[in-house]
Amino acid sequence: MTSVSALLGDSYVKHPMKDRFLKWQCHVRQMMMRDNLGKPTDAVLPEVFLEGQDNSLGSIITIMNKLPMYSETPEMLHMARKTHDPAQRRSQALQYFSATYYQKYSHFSDILTATFQGGSQGAAQILKAAQCRLVFEAYSQKFDLLCKVEALSQSNPLYVSTLAHNRLFNPDLPGETQVLGFAPDWTQCIAEP
């Protein structure tokens, strides 16, 4: 991922695999919000593989963020400030994300994000490798994405959006949270079927 991509929040690459993946992710994330009360399913929990390793480091929860021109981060921050009751906040978030949030795949960045606790060994390994494969497999669909990885600064819009999203579901998110950005190289990605 280039610094420009991270700053702009998208690779701006035109590729049919990108469109296919984003459409699928929007669909499964909306289903997750509606049918699974927002609890992450395998469709958003890819296995992480580093180059030359056959064994997964484990799975991570990925977040899809809207492109800056479609950002709804202010709305998420407002929801979080509106109440200190975690159950009420979660209920409002579920209603919000279940409605129209995931309706237009073209409004989303192709840079996925994930949060890690400060000092996470897994995050350190991924960053040291500088790239990894994220393997999503659910609902008879598989995507194997080769991604460049970068730690996002606290001022990065994707960092802010990721924390705003996650705090709606986990108000106890540690202050030392690290956010990594995963930018797929769409020419190297594989889908089955």
Task: Tell whether the model's pLDDT for residue 5 goes beyond 70.
Answer: no
What are phi and psi for residue 147, nearest 5 degrees?
-125, 140
| 57 vs 60: CA distance, rounded Å | 9
For the packed helices 73-82 and 86-96, what is the interaxial angle rounded to 10 degrees?
150
Is the pTM for the entire model greater than 0.85? yes
Structure token digits, residue 109 = 């960045």
What is the DSSP annotation of 87-128? HHHHHHHHHHIIIIITS-GGGB-S-EEEEE-TT-HHHHHHHH
> HSE (CB half, 13 Å, CA atoms) of 104?
6
DSSP H/E element including 24: helix 16-35
The arithmetic mean of pLDDT across residues 97-101, rounded, is: 95
Token duo for residue 181? 């950005």
Q: What is the pLDDT of residue 12?
A: 75
Q: Find out whether 43 and 139 touch, Cβ atoms under 8 Å.
A: yes
Nearest to 101 by CA among 64, 136, 137, 138: 64
Tell me what pLDDT residue 9 has.
65
Q: What pLDDT, on a 0 to 100 scale, did the predictor assign at position 11?
A: 67
What pLDDT digit, counting tens, does each position of 52-63 carry?
899 999 999 999
* Tokens (6 digits) for 124: 């350190």
Q: Is the pLDDT confidence value at 6 over 90?
A: no
Question: Between 175 and 44, whose confidence is greater?
Answer: 44
If we measure between CA atoms, which residue out of 164, 154, 155 comes closest to residue 75?
A: 164
pLDDT: which is higher, 42 or 3: 42
Give the residue carrying structure tokens 């460049």.
148
> Look-up: residue for tokens 């991604």?
147
**What 3-state DSSP class applies to 12?**
coil
Domains recognised in the chain with CATH numbers: 3-192 (2.30.110.10)
| 35 pLDDT higher than 80 | yes
Window from 37-46, 98-107, 166-175 with minimum mean pLDDT: 166-175
Quote the mean pLDDT of the chain: 93
What is the pLDDT at residue 8? Answer: 57
Q: What is the pLDDT of residue 2?
A: 57
pLDDT digits (tens, 9 = 90+) for 128-184: 999 999 999 999 999 999 999 999 999 999 999 999 999 999 988 888 999 999 999
Distance of CA 90 to the CA centre of its chain: 18
Burial 164-182 (b: 16+ CB within 10 A, else e): bbbbbbeeeeeeebbbbbb
